[in-house]
């Protein structure tokens, strides 16, 4: 039995791991948060035939269903049946202010003040709404800095924004590219790019963590440099919210958007969160696309012809929100509030380090491209396997292991801090080891 110390850069706590199922089980037993898994439903149809529950490592793509989600949605269905239109005011959770029931929890989740966050729309919609206000190109300063392998929706969104303002995306978009032979970006290279193009950059937009590589960026440093160069700084937290410990307010991020169906477990098509820093909360002169839900709520039903935006993030709302989706999100966010992000991240770091330790022992068959520095990643590991990744994914599935595949050759495996166990990680490793033996 071998053991290994993995240095934890952020808190200097070394992990002492052993390669055995008993050891994995002992980590689960000693764990303060392992009981939260019982609050989730594991997909019964994904278990291997004759096997126990599946090993669900795809929470970065679609999170599991919280047991309370059905109860909360059912309560709204019942109130709708009983009250009809009166539900807006008299439902047990009145529909009119319903989005406010998730505001404080969302703010705690991302390190923001309640006035800085709102849940509305879906992610790419919010990204566009934010760029309407925070991408304001001029003839001299019109470029947008993004990661080279940004999520496609983000690439389409920034390119279409540049075109909308009359610029050619081919020159308006600056892509941050890893050094030759590297998969992830060096912070100093990002800072150097910002310095080099400083006067031309209108907006820096990063995914945190990067959906493909799992790299978490050093946000505070990059935001400071973006601002020093006179650019706005935005984050897409699709893979960050509910995964990383975030301090959006303190880091001086100008805006951020995230979805709730990945780490936040609010169900397919779940709503998006949106953060606007307090410093912009009263900037009523910013261009913005308006709708009645962003209008001063005391006056909303007077149906006045002129838009009077609410201060803070709420002033960017367009429509009255979908209550069933918000109900599912409430169920999920309550669990984040109970667990707290610092504790979840601590647990996630350990789960991921354990997975890394085990996979490193099947070297030659797989290599991890996610940074080994714990400060530069969340729970996801992006792995290159020998052979055809897509085929391997199918074979994992036969064994009850659920991961996902991203072109060209990456398998993402994510032991989420919310509901995965050290035993899950070990069972994944055993399946990998078996396939390695066959190659
Ligand atoms: C998941 C994800 C999206 C998806 O956008 P939707 O508008 O919710 O469909 C966009 N960007 C990133 C980085 C993502 O990870």
pLDDT the model gives residue 85: 98
Q: How many domains does the chain have?
A: 2
Q: Judge if 45 and 157 occupy the same domain.
A: no
pTM (2 d.p.): 0.95
Domain that holds residue 293: 74-337
Q: Is 170 exposed, middle or buried (0-12, 13-18, 19+ CB in 10 A)?
A: exposed
pLDDT at position 439 = 63
Q: Measured from the CA of 272, which atom of ligand 1 is nearest?
A: 8
Is 315 found in the same domain as 357?
A: no
Ligand 1 atom with the smallest distance to the CA of 239 is: 15
What percentage of the chain's residues is helix, strand, coil (to nearest 5)? 45, 15, 40
Domain-terminating residue out of 284, 309, 337: 337
Ligand 1: atom nearest CA of 262 is: 1
Choosing from 60, 62, 124, 158 the residue with most ligand 1 atoms within 8 A of its CB, the one to mutate for a pocket test is: 124
Q: How far apart are CA 125 and CA 157, in angstroms?
A: 9
In degrees, rounded to 5, the angle at the alpha carbon of residue 179 between the alpha carbons of residues 173 and 183 is 90
Q: Does residue 68 lie in a domain region?
A: no
Choose which residue among 153, 213, 404 to substitute to test ligand 1 binding: the one with the highest number of ligand atoms within 8 A of its C-beta.
153
pLDDT recorded at residue 12 = 46
Spatial distance between the Cα atoms of 260 and 263, rounded to a whole number of angstroms: 7
Give the model's pLDDT for residue 8: 43
The answer to whether residues 328 and 372 belong to one domain is no
Pocket of ligand 1 (CB under 6 A): 122-124, 151, 153-154, 207, 211, 236, 238-239, 259
Those residues of the chain that have pLDDT short of 50 are 1-12
* Same-domain pairing of 350 and 322: no
pLDDT (0 to 100) of residue 408: 83
Residue 15 lies in a domain: no
Concatenated DSSP letters of 150-207: --HHHHHHHHHHHHHTT--HHHHEEEE-PPTT-SS--HHHHHHHHHHHGGGEEEEEEE
* Residues 310 and 222 both lie in one domain: yes
- Determine the residue of 125, 148, 211, 256 to mutate for testing ligand 1's pocket, defined as the one with the most ligand atoms within 8 A of the Cβ atom: 211
Looking at the fold, whether 126 and 172 belong to one and the same domain comes out as: yes
Domain-terminating residue out of 294, 320, 337 = 337
Same domain? For 420 and 278 the reply is no
Q: Are residues 397 and 346 in the same domain?
A: yes
Say yes or no: 176 and 284 in one domain: yes
Q: Which helix (H) or strand (E) element contains residue 274? A: strand 272-276
Using the 3D structure, point to which of 315, 337, 359 is the last residue of a domain: 337
Query: Which residue, by CA, sits nearest to atom 8 of ligand 1?
Result: 123
* pLDDT score, position 79: 98
Across the beta sheet with 272-276, what order do the strands follow? Answer: 117-120, 272-276, 255-259, 232-236, 201-207, 143-147, 173-176
Residue 148 lies in a domain: yes
Q: Is 137 exposed, middle or buried (0-12, 13-18, 19+ CB in 10 A)?
A: buried
User: What pLDDT does 2 receive?
Assistant: 39
Separation of 342 CA from ligand 1 center, angstroms?
24
Considering the domain architecture, whether residues 269 and 347 belong to the same structural domain is answered as no
Decide if 415 contacts 351 (C-beta within 8 A). yes
**Separation of alpha carbons 131 and 137, rounded Å:** 10
The CATH number assigned to the domain holding 45 equals: 3.90.1150.10
Residue 388 lies in a domain: yes
Count of residues in the chain: 439
The answer to the question of residue 79 being in a domain is yes
Q: How far is the CA of 124 from the centre of ligand 1 (A)?
A: 6
* Same-domain check for residues 303 and 235: yes
The best mutation among 119, 151, 404 to test binding of ligand 1, ranked by most ligand atoms within 8 Å of the C-beta, falls on 151
d(CA 109, CA 342): 10
Atom of ligand 1 nearest to the CA of 259: 8
Number of CB atoms found within 10 A of residue 395's CB: 16
| 368 in the same domain as 256 | no
Within a domain: 4 = no
DSSP 87-110: HHHHSSS-STTGGGGGHHHHHHHH
Residue 396 lies in a domain: yes
Q: How far is the CA of 275 from the centre of ligand 1 (A)?
A: 16
Ligand 1 geometric centre to CA of 346 (Å): 25
Atom 13 in ligand 1: residue holding the nearest Cα: 151
Report the CATH number that the domain containing residue 114 is assigned in CATH: 3.40.640.10
Q: Which numbered atom of ligand 1 lies nearest the CA of 127?
A: 7
Ligand 1 atom closest to the Cα of residue 150 is 13
């Amino acid at each position: 039995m071998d053991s290994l110390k993995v240095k934890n850069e952020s808190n200097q706590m070394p992990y002492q791991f052993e390669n055995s199922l008993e050891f994995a089980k002992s980590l689960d037993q000693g764990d303060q948060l392992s009981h939260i898994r019982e609050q989730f439903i594991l997909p019964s149809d994904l278990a291997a035939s004759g096997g126990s529950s599946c090993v669900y490592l795809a929470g970065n793509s679609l999170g599991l269903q919280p047991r309370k989600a059905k109860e909360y949605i059912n309560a709204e269905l019942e109130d709708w049946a009983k009250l009809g239109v009166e539900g807006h005011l008299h439902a047990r959770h009145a529909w009119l202010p319903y989005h406010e029931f998730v505001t404080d929890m969302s703010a705690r989740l991302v390190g923001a003040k309640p006035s800085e966050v709102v849940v509305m729309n879906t992610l790419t919609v919010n990204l566009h709404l934010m760029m309407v206000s925070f991408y304001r190109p001029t003839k001299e300063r019109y470029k947008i800095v993004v990661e080279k392998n940004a999520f496609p929706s983000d690439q389409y969104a920034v390119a279409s924004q540049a075109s909308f303002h009359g610029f050619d995306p081919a020159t308006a978009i600056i892509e941050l590219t890893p050094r030759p032979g590297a998969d992830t970006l060096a912070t100093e290279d990002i800072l150097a790019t910002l310095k080099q193009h400083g006067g031309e950059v209108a907006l820096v937009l990063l995914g945190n963590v990067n959906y493909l590589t799992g790299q978490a960026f050093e946000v505070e440093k990059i935001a400071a440099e973006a601002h020093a160069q006179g650019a706005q700084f935005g984050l897409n937290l699709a893979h960050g919210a509910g995964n990383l410990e975030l301090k959006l307010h303190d880091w001086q991020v100008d805006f951020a958007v995230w979805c709730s169906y990945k780490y936040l477990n609010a169900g397919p098509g779940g709503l998006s969160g949106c953060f606007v820093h307090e410093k912009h909360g009263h900037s009523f002169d910013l261009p913005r696309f308006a709708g009645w839900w962003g209008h001063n709520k005391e006056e909303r039903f007077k149906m006045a012809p002129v838009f009077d935006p609410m201060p803070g993030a709420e002033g960017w709302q367009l429509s009255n929100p979908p209550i069933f989706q918000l109900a599912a999100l409430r169920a999920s966010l309550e669990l984040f509030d109970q667990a707290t992000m610092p504790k979840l991240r601590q647990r996630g770091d350990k789960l991921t380090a354990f997975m890394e330790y085990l996979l490193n022992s099947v070297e030659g068959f797989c290599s991890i491209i996610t940074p080994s520095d714990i400060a530069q990643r969340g729970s996801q590991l992006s792995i290159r396997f020998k052979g055809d990744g897509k085929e391997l994914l199918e074979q994992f599935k036969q064994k009850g292991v659920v991961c996902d595949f991203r072109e060209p050759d990456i398998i993402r495996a994510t032991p989420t801090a919310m509901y995965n166990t050290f035993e899950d990680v070990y069972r994944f490793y055993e399946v990998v080891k078996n396939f390695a033996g066959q190659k």
